[in-house]
Amino acid sequence: MKQSYNNLRSLKRMLSVILLLFLTGCWSSHEIEELGLTVGLALDEGKESTTEKELKEQGGEYNQTEKITVTYQFVNPKGTGSESKGGGSQQKPYLNISETGDSIHQMTREFSLRGSRPMFSPHLKVIVISEDLVRKYSLEQLLDQFLRDNEIRPSCLVVISKGRAIETLESNESGEIPAFRLIGISDNEDRTTRILPPMSLAKLEGKMQSGSSFLLQNVISTNGEVKFSGAAVITGKTKQLLGFLNEEELDGLTWITGKGKGGLVKNFDQETNQPFIYEVKSMKSKITPHINGNNISFDVKIESEGRLSENWVVSGENSGKNFLKRAEKAAEEEVNRLVNNVGGKMQKDYQVDVAGFGNRLRIEHPKVWEKVKEDWDQTFSEVPIEYNVKLTIIDYGASSFKK
C-alpha cells in the first residue's frame, strides 16, 4: 500500500515538471500591441521634420549633424480595427516616424525616447533609399548597420526611389500599409518584364562584395501612389548610383538576361499598321563569349515562346501562315530594338556591365577573366556584341484564328 502511495507521489511530481516546461514555452513573448512593429524603412538626405525642430527648441537635441533622415513605418494597431465611434474615417494602419542625424544606429535608439513601445524589426519588409543619398554615399556605408544587425531579416527587399524615399511609404488607400504594397508589386514579376527579380538585403551584400556593377529596382511616387519604373545602375567600384534605366531599357535588359517570367511585346503589323500583342509564356537567353587573341566578343541567343493575346488587325487579314510569320517577325524586331537600345546604353553611355557578360566570361574563360576583371566595365564598353532573337507563337487563346 505504502509503495503504491509513493509511486503516485512520484507520478504527480513528474507531471508537475512537465507542465512547467510547457508553461515556460512563451516566457519571452510579448503581446503584439505592446511592440513597435516596423515593416518599412526609408533613408533620405537629412531634413528635419517640424516635430524634430520643435523638440530641439525645447532642449531635445544631441550631438549630431543632419546627414540622413531615417523614417520607420510602424504598424498602427488602432488603425487596423473597425471604424471609429463617429462612423467616420479609420485611422491609418501605419505610422511613419522620422529621425535625423548622422548615425543610423543612434537614430534608431532615439526612437526609444519618443515612443513607449519597443521597436521590433524582425518583420521589416522593405528598405527604400533615395536617389540623392546613393549619389552621395556608397550603399556599403548606408546599409552597414543593417547588415551587422541580426534583428533585421536578410530577406528584406531593397529598392531605390527617385525623389524622397519617405513619399513611397505613404498611401491614400484606406487600410493599406505602403510597405506591404511595395512587396506586393515586386511579386508581380510574372506579369511584366519591367520588374527586376527581388534584391534582398542578403543578395545585395553578395553583389557589393563581388565588385561587379548591378541594378536595383527604382520606384517613383506621387500623391500617395507609387510605380515601379526602371532600375538604378549601381557601379561595382564605388557602390554609388550612376544613373537609371527607364522602363523600356529595363525591358530590354530582361530579354538579354532571359530572367523574365512573363510580359508583353507590343508590335504593329507592317501591312495594316494595327497593333497586336505577343504575350511571353517562356524566355531564355544564352550569352556566349568568344576569344580571338586579345579580342573578346559576345553572342547573345534569345528564344521565347508565347501567344497572340490581342490583335487589332481586321478579320480576313489576320489569318493564315503569312500573317503568323509577319507577327513573329514584328515581335522579334521589337525585341531586337529593345536589346540593342539597352546594350548601347550600357556600353556607350554608362560603360558598365549590369547584364552578366563578365560572369559568363569568368565561367567559360577564367584565365582571360583574371586579366581583365579589374577594369572589366571599361573593357566591356568596347567589346562587340551580336544579338540573335527567335520568338515563336504557339497559342492564340480562345480566338478562332488557327495556324
Cα 105 to Cα 72: distance, rounded to the nearest angstrom? 13
Asked if pLDDT for residue 286 goes beyond 80, the answer is: yes
Q: Give the C-alpha separation, 320 to 391, whole Å.
A: 18
Based on the domain organization, do 98 and 233 belong to the same domain?
A: yes
Per-residue pLDDT, averaged over 324-329, amounts to 89
Task: Give the model's pLDDT for residue 313.
Answer: 83
Task: Say what the pLDDT of residue 50 is.
Answer: 87
User: Which tops the pLDDT comparison, 219 or 48?
Assistant: 219
Identify the three-state secondary structure at position 368. helix
- Would 26 be classed as within a structural domain? no
Q: Is the pTM of this model over 0.75?
A: yes
Three-state SS for 46? coil
Residue 403 above 50 pLDDT?
Answer: no
Q: Residue 13: inside a domain, yes or no?
A: no
Average pLDDT over residues 1-18: 63
Among the candidates 182, 213, 245, a domain finishes at 245
- State pLDDT tens for residues 57-70: 888 888 888 889 99
- Domain identity same for 138 and 45: yes
Among residues 197, 222, 245, which one ends one of the domains? 245
Same domain (yes/no): 240, 321: no
Give CA torsion, residues 212, 368, 345, 232, to 10 deg: -10
Residue 389 has pLDDT above 70, yes or no: yes
264 shares its domain with 135:
no
> Stretch 28-35: mean pLDDT, rounded?
58
Domain enclosing residue 358, as ranges: 250-395
Question: How confident is the model at residue 59, as a pLDDT?
Answer: 85
User: Is position 278 within any domain?
Assistant: yes
Residue 113 lies inside a defined structural domain of this protein: yes
321 vs 351: CA distance, rounded Å: 42
Whole-angstrom Cα distance, residue 144 to residue 81? 37
The stretch 328-351 carries a mean pLDDT of 96
Are 266 and 157 within one domain? no
pLDDT at residue 200, rounded to an integer:
96
Q: Are residues 293 and 219 in the same domain?
A: no
Q: Is residue 58 part of a domain?
A: no
C-alpha cell at 254: 530582361
Give the end of a domain, one of 178, 210, 245: 245
Q: Are residues 292 and 162 located together in one domain of the fold?
A: no
| 208 and 313 belong to one structural domain | no
Beta strands in 76-213 (DSSP E): 94-101, 119-120, 126-130, 157-161
Angle, vertex CA 154, rays to CA 34 and CA 237, nearest 5: 135
pLDDT at 352 over 90: yes
